[in-house]
Each structure stands twice: as structure tokens, then as C-alpha cells.
């Protein structure tokens, strides 16, 4: 037993072996019988001219000249009225990837070919479906939609909304309050000490300015250097007086706040330092 291929002959047998290669399981004896049957069919049904056209049509289709092959098959149909030639036109266009032209031929065959067997009709309809798919007319069959219950079960659970963290300022403990009161009082004392030192420096420069002024006034030949030094001492005097006064005032306010806080009140005071040409001090704003 061997497996071999034998080419069919267009428009000869109702099985339409023209444009297809069919697999046949055969022995050498069976193969000879097939060739004998085909030869007898030629002798009975077609003449040399028709046989030549069949070969030319098959050659044109296989060579990629679908228009020439379809034209030859059309001539054969007019001569023989065999609808298998229309079917073979469809196969010729299909083999050359001209699926819309192939569809028109297969549909024409299904409409007009008389007494098609169930197998022949299924075969032609299968070619129609394939050409529609390849031409993009008929998409691949989509899977039926899943029931709503299945979709609901497959849907992942929605993540919970993000939780907004609320930062709560921790309440001030008694130890924190005591530390704040001590800090205010210490800052007040330190500021007062700096202020007193600045006032002392101002007094020093005041005395120096007076001394240099007296020297310049009592001298027969006033010294320019002493005069400049006296003026500088006078300027420094007022600078240190300003700084000292502001520091003493700030120290007094800070110490008062520390003392008032320790008495149980909650002062709402903002202390802002102030500085500028000829100005130095602090600004205390708020409610006592």
C-alpha cells in the first residue's frame, strides 16, 4: 500500500477534481485503474480542444494569472454548460488570494448549479466561509460573552479608598510646660544681662566722648584725632544705649511671660526683633 497524489482534471467529474490535488491510497494496480478511468472520461466527454483549454486554464491559475485562467474556464462553461467550471473559477481566484472575486464565483455556483449533493454544497460553503474570513468580511467567531455572575466573580475586588491620616498634635505635658516656662525666664534674664552690659558700654563711650570733647575744647591746638575719636565715641554711645535698652526691655517681657505662664495663663504673644539704622529693639504683639 502506498500514498500518492494525482492531479484532477477541470470540469470532468462531478467531484470537481480540476483545481485540487486529492490524496489517494493506492497500490500500483489501483493507480493504473485510476489513470484508466480518467483517460476513458476524456475519451467520452471532451475533445482535444476542450482538453487543451482545461490544461491551459490549470496552468494559468497555478502560474498566478488568475484572469486568464478564469477567462478560459468561462469559455469552457459556455461550451459545456458544466457548472463545475464556475466552481473552478472560484478556486482559481482563491489560490491567487483574490478572495472577493472567488466569493462571487462560489456564490454563483451555489445559486445555479443544479442538484448539488450535500457533500458538494458543504464543500462550496466551506470555501465561502474561508474567503469571507480571509477578505476581512467575516471575523473569527468570537466567544460568547460570559454571564454577568461569572464576570462579577472574576472581577478583582476594588481596593479600598486611601485612608487619609490625620496628624494630631500631642497635648503638651506638664513637664513640657514647665520646661517652656523655665526657658522663657532664662531667656529674659540673659536678655536683661546683655542689655545691662550694653548700657554699661554706652556709659563708657559717653564718658570717653565727654573727656575727648573737654580735651579738644581746652587745648590751644585742638587735635584732629581727638576730635574724630570723640565723635566716634559719641556715636557708639548711642548705639550701645539703643541695644542695651532693647535687650533690657526684651528680657523683662520674656521673664514676665515665663512668670505669667507659670501662673496658669496661656499667653499669645509674638516677639519680633527690630533693627535698623539708629534703631534696635523688639516688638511684642498679642494678647495678655
CB atoms within 10 A of CB 45: 15
d(CA 100, CA 84): 19
CATH 3.50.50.60 assigned to 2-134: no
pTM of the model: 0.37
- For residues 106 and 87, is the Cβ–Cβ distance under 8 A? yes
Taking 60 as the threshold, does the pLDDT of residue 30 lie above it? no
Question: What are the pLDDT digits (tens) for 57-81?
Answer: 999 999 999 999 999 999 999 999 9
Residue 164: the pLDDT is: 61
Residue 65: the pLDDT is: 95
Which of 51-55, 62-66, 121-125, 175-179 is least confident? Answer: 175-179
Q: E strands along the chain, which residues?
A: 2-7, 21-26, 268-276, 279-287
- The percentage of residues in the chain with a pLDDT greater than 70, rounded to a whole number, is 61
Instruction: State the chain's mean pLDDT as an integer.
Output: 73
| Structure-model confidence comparison of residues 177 and 48, the more confident one | 48
Check residue 9 and report its DSSP letter. -
Confidence grade of residue 11 (pLDDT, cut at 50, 70, 90): very low
| Structure-model confidence comparison of residues 184 and 36, the more confident one | 184
Taking 80 as the threshold, does the pLDDT of residue 285 lie above it? no
Taking 80 as the threshold, does the pLDDT of residue 284 lie above it? no
Confidence grade of residue 159 (pLDDT, cut at 50, 70, 90): low
The separation between CA 242 and the C-alpha centre of its own chain, rounded to angstroms, equals 65
Residue 83: the pLDDT is: 92
Q: Could you tell me the residue ranges of all domains in the chain?
A: 2-134, 177-287
Amino acid at each position: 500500500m502506498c500514498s500518492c497524489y494525482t492531479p484532477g482534471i477541470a470540469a470532468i467529474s462531478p467531484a470537481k477534481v480540476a483545481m485540487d490535488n486529492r490524496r489517494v491510497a493506492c497500490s500500483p494496480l489501483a493507480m493504473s485503474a485510476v489513470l484508466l478511468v480518467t483517460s476513458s472520461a476524456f475519451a467520452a466527454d471532451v475533445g482535444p480542444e476542450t482538453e487543451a483549454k482545461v490544461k491551459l486554464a490549470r496552468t494559468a491559475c497555478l502560474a498566478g494569472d488568475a484572469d486568464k485562467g478564469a477567462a478560459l474556464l468561462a469559455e469552457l462553461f459556455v461550451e459545456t454548460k458544466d457548472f463545475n467550471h464556475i466552481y473552478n473559477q472560484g478556486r482559481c481566484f482563491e489560490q491567487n488570494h483574490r478572495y472577493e472575486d472567488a466569493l462571487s464565483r462560489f456564490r454563483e455556483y451555489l445559486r445555479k448549479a443544479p442538484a448539488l449533493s450535500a457533500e458538494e454544497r458543504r464543500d462550496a460553503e466551506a470555501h465561502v466561509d474561508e474567503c469571507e474570513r480571509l477578505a476581512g468580511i467575516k471575523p473569527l467567531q468570537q466567544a460568547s460573552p460570559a454571564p454577568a455572575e461569572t464576570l462579577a466573580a472574576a472581577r478583582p475586588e476594588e481596593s479600598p479608598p486611601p485612608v487619609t491620616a490625620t496628624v494630631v498634635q500631642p497635648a503638651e505635658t506638664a513637664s513640657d510646660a514647665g520646661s517652656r516656662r523655665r526657658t522663657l525666664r532664662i531667656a529674659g534674664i540673659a536678655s536683661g544681662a546683655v542689655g545691662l552690659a550694653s548700657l554699661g558700654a554706652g556709659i563708657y563711650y559717653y564718658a570717653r566722648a565727654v573727656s575727648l570733647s573737654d580735651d579738644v575744647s581746652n587745648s590751644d591746638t585742638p587735635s584732629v584725632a581727638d576730635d574724630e575719636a570723640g565723635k566716634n565715641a559719641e556715636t557708639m554711645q548711642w548705639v550701645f544705649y539703643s541695644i542695651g535698652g532693647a535687650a533690657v526691655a526684651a528680657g523683662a517681657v520674656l521673664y514676665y511671660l515665663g512668670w505669667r505662664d507659670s501662673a496658669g495663663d496661656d499667653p499669645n504673644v509674638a516677639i519680633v526683633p527690630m533693627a535698623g539704622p539708629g534703631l534696635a529693639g523688639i516688638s511684642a504683639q498679642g494678647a495678655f
